[in-house]
């Protein structure tokens, strides 16, 4: 059984027309909006992105607005989405675009990939969704669909595998590039599911699918052994003085750059050890409460955390003391810290 790929187009587009989700970025052809949605969607679930996208568009409706936004406000809009370099690159990208002769996002795939934060996937999706270019967007969803279709055992992180499917899909891409790109992603998201039994009975491509034919769907895509993430232990200290909490700004480079955080120490400490440490630092404690353990996974590291809520008798310098309200509206707190903030109603 060989797959004649052209044959997938019609059933796929018909299925998409019937089954597609009503998503906010599907109501626009504005390249700016497509750009923002695709960057948000790269590492974040659709359900999460919806709300962030709508808020972002309300606050920054144009490329100029994004180019001129203050970093603090931008990070606040991105707070909770993770991978914050995406937001910073988006702003850099907007600045380059508004200062260019054309003042609009280029429609050309190669030119798109030369902009900050736009890799081959985003370039393919933006060019095909916003500009009608025949440039497939090869993401994890699409690679899952394709490797199952062909029972392709190759490792999907290999650039040659991406290139292979880019070329194959480009060769058959219909004029309706937008729906074609979105329909493949949608099939991966709704039917050709990862980490569970896919819904092959509902799949418009099942009659072409080699892995369905042999019932080997779960063997594809071939899983690469994950590089073990380095574990970092942290003790999160939420200091409270009256109705204010101590925070500090993270360095401008590296993980969670320029965001705000509660104070912390390494490694994980017991309550007694925290009390000892604070004594050494001459911080007078009125009360201390353990907030339990939590984990946060990033792309290359994992934080194993333990937290404490500590009421102090005097505020200490070096920290910014802010109210709950300010923490909610003004300062961007990464998810790792939010887990603890929530525990004390912040």
Longest CA–CA span in the chain (Å) reads 75
Q: Which two tokens stand for residue 254?
A: 């590296």
Binding region for ligand ADE (CB under 6 A) out of 88-96, 182-190, 245-253, 306-314: 182-190
What is the size of the binding site for ligand ADE (CB under 6 A)? 8
Q: Which two tokens stand for residue 155?
A: 């490792």
- Residue 310 binds ligand ADE (CB under 6 A): no
From start to end of 131-249, where are the E strands?
Answer: 230-241, 244-249
Q: Which of 3, 46, 200, 263 binds ligand ADE (CB under 6 A)?
A: 46
- Residues 82-141 binding ligand ADE (CB under 6 A) are 125
CB of 278 to ligand ADE, least distance (A): 46
Report yes or no: 196 and 263 within 8 Å, Cβ to Cβ. Answer: no
Q: Which of 67, 143, 185, 247 binds ligand ADE (CB under 6 A)?
A: 185
CB of 298 to ligand ADE, least distance (A): 21
CB-based contacts of 45, cutoff 8 Å, min separation 6? none
CB of 296 to ligand ADE, least distance (A): 23
Rounded Cα distance between 59 and 77, Å, is 9
CB of 119 to ligand ADE, least distance (A): 13
Q: Which two tokens stand for residue 290?
A: 């353990």
Give the orientation angle of helix 120-130 with respect to helix 31-41, to 10 degrees.
140
φ, ψ at 68 (rounded to 5°): -100, 0
Q: Which is nearer to ligand ADE, 67 or 185 (CB)?
A: 185
Q: Which of 8, 12, 36, 41 binds ligand ADE (CB under 6 A)?
A: 41
Active site residues per annotation: 38
Binding region for ligand ADE (CB under 6 A) out of 38-46, 152-160, 306-314, 316-324: 38-46
Q: Is 287 exposed, middle or buried (0-12, 13-18, 19+ CB in 10 A)?
A: exposed
Q: Which two tokens stand for residue 334?
A: 């990464």
Q: Which is nearer to ligand ADE, 39 or 161 (CB)?
A: 39
- Residue 179 binds ligand ADE (CB under 6 A): no
Torsion angle of C-alpha atoms 205, 208, 210, 212, degrees rounded to 10: 40
C-alpha triplet 260, 263, 265: angle, nearest 5°: 130
- Residue 182 binds ligand ADE (CB under 6 A): yes
Q: Which of 12, 35, 38, 212 binds ligand ADE (CB under 6 A)?
A: 38
The footprint of ligand ADE (CB under 6 A) covers 23, 38, 41, 46, 125, 182, 185, 189
């Amino acid at each position: 059984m060989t797959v004649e790929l052209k044959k997938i187009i019609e059933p796929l587009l018909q299925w998409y027309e019937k089954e597609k989700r009503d998503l906010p970025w599907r109501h626009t052809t504005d390249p700016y909006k497509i750009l923002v949605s695709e960057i948000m969607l790269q590492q974040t679930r659709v359900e999460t992105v919806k709300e962030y996208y709508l808020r972002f568009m309300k606050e920054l409706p144009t490329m100029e607005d994004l180019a001129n936004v203050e970093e603090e406000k931008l990070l606040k809009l991105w707070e909770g989405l993770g991978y914050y370099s995406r937001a910073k690159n988006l702003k850099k990208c907007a600045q380059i675009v508004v200062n260019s002769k054309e003042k609009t996002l280029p429609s050309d795939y190669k030119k798109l990939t030369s902009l900050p934060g736009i890799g081959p996937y985003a370039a393919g999706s933006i060019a095909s969704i916003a500009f009608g270019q025949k440039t497939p967007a090869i993401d994890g969803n699409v690679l899952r669909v394709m490797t199952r279709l062909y029972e392709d055992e190759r490792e999907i992180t290999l650039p040659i595998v991406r290139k292979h499917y880019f070329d194959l899909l480009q060769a058959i891409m219909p004029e309706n590039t937008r729906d074609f790109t979105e329909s493949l992603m949608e099939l991966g998201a709704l039917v050709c599911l990862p980490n569970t039994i896919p819904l092959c009975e509902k799949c418009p491509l099942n009659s072409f699918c080699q892995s369905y034919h042999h019932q080997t769907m779960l063997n594809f895509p071939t899983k690469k052994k994950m590089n073990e993430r380095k574990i970092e232990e942290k003790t999160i200290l939420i200091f409270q003085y009256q109705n204010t909490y101590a925070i500090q700004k993270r360095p401008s480079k590296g993980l969670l750059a320029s965001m705000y955080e509660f104070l912390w120490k390494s490694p994980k400490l017991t309550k007694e050890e925290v009390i000892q440490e604070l004594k050494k630092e001459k911080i007078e404690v009125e009360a201390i409460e353990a907030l339990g353990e939590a984990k946060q996974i990033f792309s290359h590291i994992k934080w194993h955390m333990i937290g404490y809520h500590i009421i102090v008798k005097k505020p200490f310098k070096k920290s910014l003391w802010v109210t709950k309200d300010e923490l909610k509206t003004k300062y961007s707190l990464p998810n790792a810290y939010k887990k603890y903030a929530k525990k004390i109603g912040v």
